[in-house]
């Protein structure tokens, strides 16, 4: 028992005598374990704390948004699904909130007490339909608002005024700086407002959808909670797996319900058209029958007219024949009349001659009275003969004339017949005209009827087309990954976890290595005591135990304290800063214990140190006790490589030569010091490198790559001429200096890897002006890229993720159609994934001319937040505008998000600097303690204090310089590895290190070296030359 009492007393004395070394080992282990365990458990603490907040507020695991709304019957069917705990219909909509002189876009939620419960920070919950809760962030933006004030909500459905009765937070809005987009105000929501369901229904349901569905008995969102989900961490893989099975069943159910409602809706509307269509078809049949009857009657009338015409023609034919006969007789009569006329003329001439001759002889008798003339002698006989001849001729003429009267009667009959035919033909023409008039009137009536039928057909067709154009209902089933707040929080916690994977491990390994060096040196220094104990009969194990206990106490105490401190301090600082600067969640942190992390921490800290201690002590104890009781012979001095460089070696003074020989003589100390200092320097370089990689990313993206100030996105696509008109309209605004139209399409891209990325296709309307809006340049070389007509320019992060390069092709999918594009160049880009394409190449790939839906603009001067909001509201007044985005607002949001990471980086830098200080102190302290006799000797030889300082600290400075240079080189690789680890798909950080980071690392390392040298001068001054020299005896 007395033996062990002596052992414990020696153990305590060893600790007390080497308390500075013990404390340095404990402190190094404390820092390493605190940093390692603290950062490793921080993501778990962040996730657990946020999950506790979500559970307390009855967070909806799934949010269903059907485009046709959800009825009570739909909700009832969802509740029948295995695994669904609750399903609650709610109303969510955008509105314009008017308070005082402010008008801002807000998102409005209907109040529910059992799901997505508001986190009340002041006031009370709404108790009637005229009261509301207001977002606490809205209050921060409008600090003059107080409880009891009124706010007016208005949208396309109406307007209503509410009294503010409380301020709250909401689990759907976790990010301070981003409340989402809005169709009112400046295009961005400034907060949320919660009202009761009744007014929410009146303002939240779209009237067009109500008219389409013919009812307002539906909700526009359904909040679903899954059984057992509240028992799991919302950010865990088990939670995701639990939701996957339920999501599939809900999707099947709601799709079937929506399809049924669509079929019913279309069927009902088509049924309304059946009676009008039947009437139309009956009218069309009546019309067609009328047309047929009209054509028959018209043809019959035309036949009768034709037959009459034929009869007239036959009569005329007979008349023509009679006329022909009459014409032949009339020619004979004419000749006979002419003959008679000539005969009568001859007779009259003869008669006249006779009468003349009679008058010449005596007084002639009055022949005109018919008196008989008696002539005597030959003359009388001659006259009598002449008269007889004349009588004969007259008789013949009378006979002829009687025949002529028959011809005259025939001519009169022919003329009468011709007149009758003319009259009949006139009547026929009147009949034809009457038929034509009747036909025209009837045709006009038929045409009017046909026009009415055609108009009815057009109306029916248009109605049917409108019914057929009723959009197919769809739905969106959102989980935490599709909620910007929870997704961003998970991304940030994962980013912290990614940093914690390597950075703390490197930190811890450096600490463990220095602890190992410290214990190894202590075992070597304590060899005399080990030999004494062995000579007194203590076993090797007993002697080894004093060093094992020493190391165990230092590392165990340091590990436990480090775990306790780190598990509280680092998560608290990081989580609180995230909550303070970025996330709108209560700052109440839930402390977590992770046995695996703590076990790993202790194993690394204790096991490695104990193993090194056991190995060092065992190697020493293999020697005989007599040998152990004697001091270890110093290493023989050897010529070093530098001595062969005679021109340099000759220029070194004595102290410098001694320093160089000592550095290379103690190789173990040399390499341990170099490794320790290089590790700390690499950590500092990495810390500053990460900081500037983050800050430089936003600077390059928003000031060097995106050169435009804002963009206006339209609801539809327009031709270039139409878009130019909108461009000219924007340019009339005095705050806008220049505008370029463009086409922006959001789709997915795929390449040679298995990844599929969300990508934005950008097609500028003018390649000549693109330099004023974008910078296309190669990453690294910074050479400018020209956007041509032979391919697309792809952002570098997308190229890496898709595993493609220049000359390869990618598939861009838009509206379920895939398009193949050839990559002509890869451009530098840090945020999101972009494909830049000329309008000419667009036409060749898509097979149609580009139509544009966006305008990028530059402003006349930099806009502050208020001016940007006013301009945004002005631009949003155009009903064709869907959103307005300002680049500086995106930059501010990203900077805010990155500031939280920046704070974490500062924690890393400070921790690395503190570790560097402790490591340098420990190495310096070891160096001095193991060389006390040597230092006492040079003091005896007359070295002054300054010379002693130079003798010892010159080595530290040289080792620090060498270790720092190596650490700078290692820091580049460590920085590159961490950057690739913490990057997410949508963001690429700057992967180069600013030269200032190297400067900071060098300055800090050398500053710590100098401060430690100043502090350790007191130790050198306190070395007792006599006792130190006697210690060898």
Burial letters 364-403, b for 16+ CB under 10 A, else e: eeeeeeeeeeeeeeeeeeebeeeeeebeebeeebeeeeee
Judge contact between 220 and 32, C-beta under 8 A. Answer: no
Which is nearest to 441 in space by CA: 483, 449, 171?
Answer: 449
The alpha carbons of the chain give a radius of gyration, in whole angstroms, of: 58
Report the alpha-carbon distance of residue 905 to residue 45 in Å, rounded: 18
Judge contact between 403 and 340, C-beta under 8 A. Answer: no
DSSP annotation of 706 reads: B
Beta-carbon-side half-sphere exposure of residue 786 (alpha carbons within 13 Å):
4
| Residue carrying structure tokens 């700078």 | 968
Judge contact between 196 and 151, C-beta under 8 A. Answer: no
Report the alpha-carbon distance of residue 384 to residue 380 in Å, rounded: 6
Q: Which residues pair with 225 in a beta bridge?
A: 86
Residues 6+ apart with CB under 8 A from 923: 514, 517, 672, 673, 676, 677, 956, 959
Q: What is the per-residue pLDDT for 118? A: 93
DSSP states of 957-973: HHHHHHHHHHHHHHHHH
Which is nearest to 243 in space by CA: 233, 254, 255, 253?
Answer: 233
Token reading at 774:
């974008």
Report the alpha-carbon distance of residue 924 to residue 945 in Å, rounded: 17
Residues (pLDDT < 70) of the chain are 1-4, 6-7, 301-302, 304-305, 307-418, 420-422, 424-425, 428, 431-432, 435, 439, 502-504, 507-508, 511-512, 514-516, 587, 628, 631-638, 666, 897-901, 1025-1033
Q: What is the per-residue pLDDT for 341? A: 57
SS3 583: strand
pTM of the model as a whole? 0.67
DSSP annotation of 396 reads: H
Question: What's the Cα-to-Cα distance from 620 to each of 553, 759, 823, rounded to whole Å?
Answer: 21, 65, 67
Report the alpha-carbon distance of residue 683 to residue 691 in Å, rounded: 12
Length, in residues, of the chain: 1033
Judge contact between 294 and 442, C-beta under 8 A. Answer: yes
Report the alpha-carbon distance of residue 1004 to residue 728 in Å, rounded: 57
| Residue carrying structure tokens 């220029």 | 651
Which is nearest to 888 in space by CA: 716, 711, 725, 740?
Answer: 711
Report the alpha-carbon distance of residue 324 to residue 107 in Å, rounded: 107
Judge contact between 597 and 40, C-beta under 8 A. Answer: yes
Judge contact between 812 and 821, C-beta under 8 A. Answer: yes
Report the alpha-carbon distance of residue 796 to residue 782 in Å, rounded: 13
Angle between helices 540-581 and 484-525 (to 10 degrees): 150
Report the alpha-carbon distance of residue 329 to residue 735 in Å, rounded: 111
Distance from the first to the final alpha carbon of the chain = 31
Q: 614-671, pLDDT tens digit by residue?
A: 777 777 777 777 776 776 666 666 677 777 777 887 787 777 777 777 777 767 777 7
Report the alpha-carbon distance of residue 193 to residue 106 in Å, rounded: 7
Report the alpha-carbon distance of residue 73 to residue 256 in Å, rounded: 13
Report the alpha-carbon distance of residue 35 to residue 508 in Å, rounded: 8
Task: Return the beta strands (E) in 408-553 as ranges.
Answer: 475-478
Report the 10 Å Cβ neighbour count for 279. 12
Token reading at 296:
């028959």
Residues 6+ apart with CB under 8 A from 507: 31, 32, 35, 36, 683, 911, 912, 915
Q: What is the per-residue pLDDT for 390? A: 53
Q: What is the per-residue pLDDT for 396? A: 59
Residues 6+ apart with CB under 8 A from 827: 776, 777, 778, 779, 785, 793, 794, 795, 796, 834, 836
Largest CA distance in the chain: 232
Judge contact between 573 and 483, C-beta under 8 A. Answer: no
Q: What is the per-residue pLDDT for 451? A: 79
| Phi, psi (rounded to 5 degrees) for 404 | -65, -35
SS3 163: strand
Q: What is the per-residue pLDDT for 211? A: 86
| Residue carrying structure tokens 């890229």 | 785
Angle between helices 887-929 and 932-940 (to 10 degrees): 70
Q: Is 842 exposed, middle or buried (0-12, 13-18, 19+ CB in 10 A)?
A: buried
DSSP states of 513-580: HHHHHHHHHHHHHTHHHHHHHHHTT--HHHHHHHHHHHHHHHHHHHHHHHHHHHHHHHHHHHHHHHHH
Report the alpha-carbon distance of residue 759 to residue 818 in Å, rounded: 13
SS3 219: strand
Give Cα 950 distance to the centre of its chain. 64
Report the alpha-carbon distance of residue 24 to residue 924 in Å, rounded: 11
- Report the phi/psi class of residue 651: left, alpha or beta, with left for phi > 0 and alpha for psi in -120 to 50: alpha
Burial letters 890-910, b for 16+ CB under 10 A, else e: bbebbbebbebbbbbbebbbe
Question: What's the Cα-to-Cα distance from 187 to each of 140, 993, 1002, rounded to whole Å?
Answer: 19, 38, 48
Q: Is 223 exposed, middle or buried (0-12, 13-18, 19+ CB in 10 A)?
A: buried
Q: What is the per-residue pLDDT for 799? A: 92
Kind of pairing, strands 809-814 and 84-90?
Answer: unpaired
Report the alpha-carbon distance of residue 870 to residue 886 in Å, rounded: 12
């Amino acid at each position: 028992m007395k033996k062990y009492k002596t052992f414990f007393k020696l153990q305590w004395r060893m600790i007390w005598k080497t308390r500075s070394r013990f404390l340095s080992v404990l402190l190094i282990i404390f820092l390493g374990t605190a940093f390692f365990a603290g950062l490793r458990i921080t993501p778990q603490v962040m996730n657990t704390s946020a999950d506790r907040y979500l559970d307390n507020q009855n967070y909806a695991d799934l949010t269903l948004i059907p485009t046709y709304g959800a009825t009570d019957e739909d909700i009832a069917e969802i509740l029948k699904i295995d695994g669904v705990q609750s399903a609650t219909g709610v109303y969510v909509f955008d509105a314009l909130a008017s308070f005082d002189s402010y008008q801002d876009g807000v998102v409005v939620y209907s109040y529910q007490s059992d799901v997505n419960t508001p986190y009340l920070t002041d006031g009370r919950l709404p108790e009637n339909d005229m009261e509301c809760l207001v977002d606490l962030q809205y209050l921060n933006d409008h600090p003059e608002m107080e409880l009891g004030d009124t706010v007016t909500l208005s949208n396309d459905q109406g307007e209503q005024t509410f009294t503010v009765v409380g301020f709250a937070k909401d689990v759907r809005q976790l990010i301070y700086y981003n409340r989402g987009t809005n169709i009112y105000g400046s295009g961005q929501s400034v907060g949320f407002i919660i009202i009761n369901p009744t007014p929410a229904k009146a303002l939240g349901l779209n009237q067009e959808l109500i008219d389409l569905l013919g009812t307002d008995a539906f909700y526009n969102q359904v909040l679903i909670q899954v059984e057992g989900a509240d028992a799991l961490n919302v950010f865990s893989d088990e939670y995701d797996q639990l939701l996957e099975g339920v999501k599939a069943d809900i999707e099947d159910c709601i799709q079937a319900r929506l399809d049924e409602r669509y079929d019913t809706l279309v069927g009902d509307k088509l049924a309304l058209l059946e009676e009008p269509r039947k009437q139309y078809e009956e009218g069309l049949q009546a019309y067609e029958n009328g047309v047929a009857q009209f054509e028959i009657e018209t043809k019959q009338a035309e036949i009768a007219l034709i037959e009459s015409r034929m009869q007239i023609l036959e009569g005329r034919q007979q008349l023509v024949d009679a006329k022909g006969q009459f014409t032949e007789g009339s020619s004979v009569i004419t000749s006979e009349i002419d003959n008679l006329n000539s005969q009568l003329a001859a007779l009259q001439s003869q008669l006249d001659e006779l009468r003349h001759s009679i008058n010449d002889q005596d007084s002639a008798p009055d022949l005109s009275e018919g008196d008989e003339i008696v002539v005597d002698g030959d003359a009388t006989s001659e006259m009598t003969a002449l008269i007889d001849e004349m009588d004969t001729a007259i008789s013949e003429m009378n006979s002829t004339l009687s025949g002529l009267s028959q011809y005259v009667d025939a001519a009169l009959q022919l003329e009468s017949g011709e007149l009758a035919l003319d009259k009949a033909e006139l009547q026929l023409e009147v009949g034809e005209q009457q038929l034509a008039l009747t036909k025209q009137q009837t045709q006009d009536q038929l045409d009017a009827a046909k026009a009415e039928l055609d108009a009815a057909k057009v109306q029916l067709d248009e109605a049917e087309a409108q019914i057929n154009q009723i959009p197919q209902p769809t739905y969106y089933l959102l989980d935490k990954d599709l909620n910007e707040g929870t997704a961003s929080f998970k991304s940030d916690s994962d980013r912290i976890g990614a940093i914690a994977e390597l950075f703390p491990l490197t930190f811890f390994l450096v600490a463990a290595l220095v602890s190992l060096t410290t214990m190894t040196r202590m075992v070597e220094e304590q060899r005399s005591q080990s030999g004494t104990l062995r000579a007194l009969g203590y076993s090797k194990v007993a002697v080894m135990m004093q060093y094992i206990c020493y190391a165990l106490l230092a590392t165990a105490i340091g590990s436990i304290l480090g775990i306790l401190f780190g598990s509280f301090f680092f998560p608290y600082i990081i989580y609180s800063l995230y909550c303070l600067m970025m996330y709108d969640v209560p700052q109440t942190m839930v402390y977590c214990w992770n046995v695996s992390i703590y076990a790993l921490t202790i194993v690394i800290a204790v096991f490695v140190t104990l193993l090194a201690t056991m190995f060092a002590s065992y190697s020493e104890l293999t020697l005989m006790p007599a040998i152990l009781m004697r001091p270890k012979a110093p290493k023989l001095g050897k010529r070093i490589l530098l001595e062969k460089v005679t021109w340099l070696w000759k220029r070194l003074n004595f102290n410098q030569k001694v320093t160089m020989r000592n550095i290379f003589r103690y190789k173990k100390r040399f390499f341990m010091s170099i490794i320790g200092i290089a590790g700390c320097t690499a950590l500092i370089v990495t810390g500053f490198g990460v900081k500037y990689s983050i800050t430089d990313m936003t600077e390059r993206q928003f000031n060097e790559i995106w050169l435009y100030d804002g963009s206006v996105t339209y609801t539809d696509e327009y031709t270039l001429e139409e878009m130019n008109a909108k461009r000219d309209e924007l340019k009339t605004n005095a705050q806008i200096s220049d505008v370029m139209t463009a086409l922006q399409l959001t789709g997915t891209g795929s390449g040679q890897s298995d990844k599929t990325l969300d990508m934005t296709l950008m097609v500028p309307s003018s390649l000549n002006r693109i330099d004023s809006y974008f910078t296309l340049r190669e990453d690294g070389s910074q050479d400018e890229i020209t956007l041509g007509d032979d391919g697309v320019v792809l952002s570098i992060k997308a190229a890496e993720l898709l595993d493609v390069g220049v000359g390869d092709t990618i598939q861009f999918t838009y509206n379920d159609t895939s398009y193949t594009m050839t990559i002509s160049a890869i451009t530098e880009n840090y945020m999101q994934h972009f494909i830049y394409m000329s309008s000419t190449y667009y036409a060749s790939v898509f097979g149609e001319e580009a139509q544009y839906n966006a305008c990028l603009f530059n402003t006349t001067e930099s806009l502050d937040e208020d001016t940007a909001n006013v301009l945004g509201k002005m631009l949003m007044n155009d009903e064709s505008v869907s959103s307005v985005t300002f680049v500086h607002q995106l930059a501010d949001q990203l900077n805010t998000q990155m500031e939280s990471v920046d704070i974490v980086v500062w924690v890393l830098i400070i921790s690395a600097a503190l570790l560097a200080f402790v490591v340098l102190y420990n190495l310096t302290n070891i160096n001095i303690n193991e060389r006390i006799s040597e230092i006492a000797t040079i003091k005896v030889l007359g070295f002054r204090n300054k010379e002693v300082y130079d003798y010892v600290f010159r080595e530290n400075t040289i080792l620090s310089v060498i270790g720092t240079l190596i650490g700078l080189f290692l820091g580049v690789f460590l920085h590159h590895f961490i950057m690739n680890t913490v990057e997410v798909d949508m963001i690429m950080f700057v992967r180069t290190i600013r030269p200032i980071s190297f400067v900071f690392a060098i300055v800090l390392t050398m500053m710590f070296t100098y401060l430690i040298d100043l502090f350790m001068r007191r130790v050198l001054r306190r070395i007792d030359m006599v006792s130190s020299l006697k210690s060898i005896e």
